[in-house]
Amino acid sequence: MASPIVKWAGGKRQLLEELVARMPLEMNRYVEPFAGGAALYLAIADENRAAMRRRFNEARLSDMNEDLIVAYRTVASDVEAVIAELGGYRYEEELYYATRAVDPATLSPVQRTARLLFLNKTCFNGLWRVNAKGHFNVPFGRYTNPTICDDKALREAAPLLARASIEHRDFHEVVADLGAGDFVYFDPPYAPVSETADFTAYAKEGFGHGDHERLAHTFRALAERGVLCMLSNADTPLTRALYSDFAIESVEARRSVNSKSSARGKVSELIVTSWAPRS
């Protein structure tokens, strides 16, 4: 069964059932503007997951992380070349830092994809974090024999990614042309729960308070046009306030990204839908 090819902060694997249960069975366009690991898309587009399968005419995935977008496009178009390139990597600290130091813009799409997958599988905590210049800066991770090339996952995801249009754009631009019958799932970087739990460094632009307000504004405008909008985020006063006009439900999720391991564990996550009645 298809599942994410990268480990991503805020990955939605544990919330999948809750999200799918709320989705319409059919839609015109399926749009995921904060794709990250694209866990929801890979579940609902997979013909082998009968219970989660949803029908759509077109799919659109996008994210502000350019390396991720290049990787999705390249896996979609040339998964065997990516697998072959990954075969040249080994789990070694020296190779890790040498690979990390390479400027991805100087690489071919296949090399750039293999670099992202290798770093993602071998870095500390398996997360993608960039500094203010947009350079990946996570240290080497300690694992016992990590899987660098998960060829099964890559081959399963490839045809599903090939069915989607994949774009490197801000969320707002990606949804501008949507209308009634289209469905959008927004999974933005978390609104801060606390200073230590804040993790928004997926892309060099970050995602601040103003972006959360901009997103709520976009959500409302789309809902008014009849677009079916679903959003998940941390259960914080900010999220509750921004979406107070819509149906909000609280569900339990496990959080894996936190610098303090004591702060990991179960947290409440909110799911907002634009079509359900407010309860």
Ligand X SMILES: C[S@@+](CC[C@H](N)C(=O)[O-])C[C@H]1O[C@@H](n2cnc3c(N)ncnc32)[C@H](O)[C@@H]1O
* Residues found near ligand X in the complex (CB under 6 A): 8, 10-12, 33-34, 36-39, 63-65, 170-171, 187-189, 202-203, 207
Instruction: Give the whole-angstrom CA distance, residue 163 versus residue 82.
Output: 18
Q: Report yes or no: 63 and 34 within 8 Å, Cβ to Cβ.
A: yes
Collapsing DSSP to helix, strand or coil, 171 comes out as helix
CB of 188 to ligand X, least distance (A): 6
Closer Cβ to ligand X, 94 or 156, answer by number = 156
49-to-45, 84, 133, 215, 265 alpha-carbon distances in Å: 8, 28, 40, 31, 28
Closer Cβ to ligand X, 166 or 277, answer by number = 166
- Report CA dihedral (164, 148, 120, 14) to the nearest 10 degrees: 70
Q: Nearest 5°: phi and psi at 130?
A: -120, 160
CB of 84 to ligand X, least distance (A): 26
Collapsing DSSP to helix, strand or coil, 70 comes out as helix
Closer Cβ to ligand X, 81 or 168, answer by number = 168
Closer Cβ to ligand X, 82 or 191, answer by number = 191
Buried b (16+ CB within 10 A) or exposed e, 65-85: bebbbbbbbbbbebbebbbeb
Query: What letter represents residue 155's amino acid?
Result: R
CA torsion sign for 110, 130, 103, 167 is positive
Closer Cβ to ligand X, 15 or 279, answer by number = 15
CB of 274 to ligand X, least distance (A): 18
Instruction: Give the whole-angstrom CA distance, residue 52 versus residue 22.
Output: 11
CB of 30 to ligand X, least distance (A): 13
Closer Cβ to ligand X, 53 or 169, answer by number = 169
CB of 87 to ligand X, least distance (A): 26
Closer Cβ to ligand X, 126 or 188, answer by number = 188
Q: Closest Cα to residue 148, out of 104, 83, 100, 75?
A: 83
Q: Closest Cα to residue 279, out of 247, 252, 251, 257?
A: 247
CB of 88 to ligand X, least distance (A): 27
CB of 4 to ligand X, least distance (A): 6
